[in-house]
Amino acid sequence: MTTMDTTVLTRPPSLARHLARGAALSPLKRPSPDAEFPHTRLVLPDGRVDLARLATYERVCGFSTGEDALPVTYPHVLGFPLAMRLMSDRAFPLPLLGLVHTSIALTRHRTLPATGQYELTVYVDHLAPHRRGTEATVVTELRTGNTLAWESSSTYLARHRTATPSSEPRTTEPPAPLPTLTEWRLPADLGRRYGAASGDRNPIHLHPLTARLFGFPRAIAHGMWTVARCLAEHGVPERATVRADFKAPLLLPGTVSYGAQDGRFELRGTGERLHVTGQVGAP
């Protein structure tokens, strides 16, 4: 078992600095599921919420504003600068440019006041083969005192040629659609608006030109926007687990249908194309 080092931070990392660093180093990366990666836990012991930025996030994602409680997805935003510091490190083998968020599983153990003080911990758990490349799993933990209040596990895919096929099963028959509850028209600038609120300014989300550099005909919506928007519509209990899988890129602008039933939710686009599936349950 590999021992993890712990690095304690005195302030949140600069997103702009680490995004730029990751972009500059991306052409030098050689992704592989067998590659070495940083075995470091980054800890920010005094994390606080910028209430103005939180309000912007809530508006973009459809959450109620003005409440002293963090949306269930917001700790991901708080931990994102730490994740970017790890994934922009020279020793991290996956290129930051073009990295695609493919899933998130999170658990909220208690209500999180927006005015609270939190300890954030982020680390890369492992790499794994994927039929389209290599996935990294990044864990984020949020504590109040010594109590774990929220935790998540996200997977990020670097697409590249693979020498051998993955054992990951392919879905041959798409699931039947859930009952449609509403429809949303998504503007072309949604990726830029969510990027400004969350700090995630991956080029694939911002403009058609930068998205085309990575094989997308237009900018695509952030996966975390899609799940946040679904959960804002669905509602989440004080203590809950959420699992979401990002199935296909959601091109901007576009129109999607939100469906939900028995704790499950989904977004479907043109031609019933499935973009995100998820489920809300008890912890």
- List the structure tokens of 27: 């052409």
User: What integer pLDDT is reported at residue 263 of this predicted model?
Assistant: 96
Mean pLDDT of 237-242: 96
Sign of CA dihedral 168, 106, 153, 51: positive
pLDDT higher at 3 or 134 = 134
Mean pLDDT of 239-249: 96
Give 162-195 pLDDT, tens digit per residue: 775 545 555 567 778 999 999 999 999 999 999 9
CB–CB of 160/134 below 8 Å?
A: yes
Close Cβ partners of 275 (under 8 Å, ≥ 6 residues apart): 226, 246, 247, 248, 249, 250, 256, 266, 267, 268, 269
Give the span between the Cα atoms of 268 and 250, in whole angstroms. 9
Assess whether pLDDT exceeds 90 at residue 230. yes
Assess whether pLDDT exceeds 80 at residue 141. yes
Mean pLDDT of 88-102: 91
Close Cβ partners of 50 (under 8 Å, ≥ 6 residues apart): none
User: What integer pLDDT is reported at residue 98 of this predicted model?
Assistant: 78
Give the span between the Cα atoms of 156 and 149, in whole angstroms. 23
Output phi, psi for 208, to 5 deg.
-55, -40
Give the span between the Cα atoms of 206 and 194, in whole angstroms. 9
Q: Of 224, 198, 223, 220, give the one whose Cα is nearest residue 207.
A: 220
CB–CB of 73/200 below 8 Å?
A: no
Give the span between the Cα atoms of 70 and 247, in whole angstroms. 26
Give 114-139 pLDDT, tens digit per residue: 999 999 999 999 999 998 899 999 99
The single residue listed with the structure tokens 């999180």 is 112
User: What integer pLDDT is reported at residue 1 of this predicted model?
Assistant: 57
Output phi, psi for 114, to 5 deg.
-65, -25
Going by pLDDT thresholds of 50, 70 and 90, the confidence category of residue 66 is confident
pLDDT higher at 201 or 69 = 69
Give the span between the Cα atoms of 93 and 136, in whole angstroms. 10
Please return the burial class of 193, using the count of CB atoms within 10 Å of its CB with bins 0-12, 13-18 and 19+.
middle
* Lowest mean pLDDT segment, chosen from 88-97, 117-126, 198-207, 255-264: 198-207
Of these ranges, 12-26, 81-95, 170-184, the one predicted with the greatest mean pLDDT is 81-95
* Lowest mean pLDDT segment, chosen from 1-15, 177-191, 240-254, 269-283: 1-15
The single residue listed with the structure tokens 């998205």 is 211
pLDDT higher at 210 or 153 = 153
Q: Which pTM was predicted?
A: 0.91
Give the span between the Cα atoms of 279 and 207, in whole angstroms. 30
User: What integer pLDDT is reported at residue 171 of this predicted model?
Assistant: 55
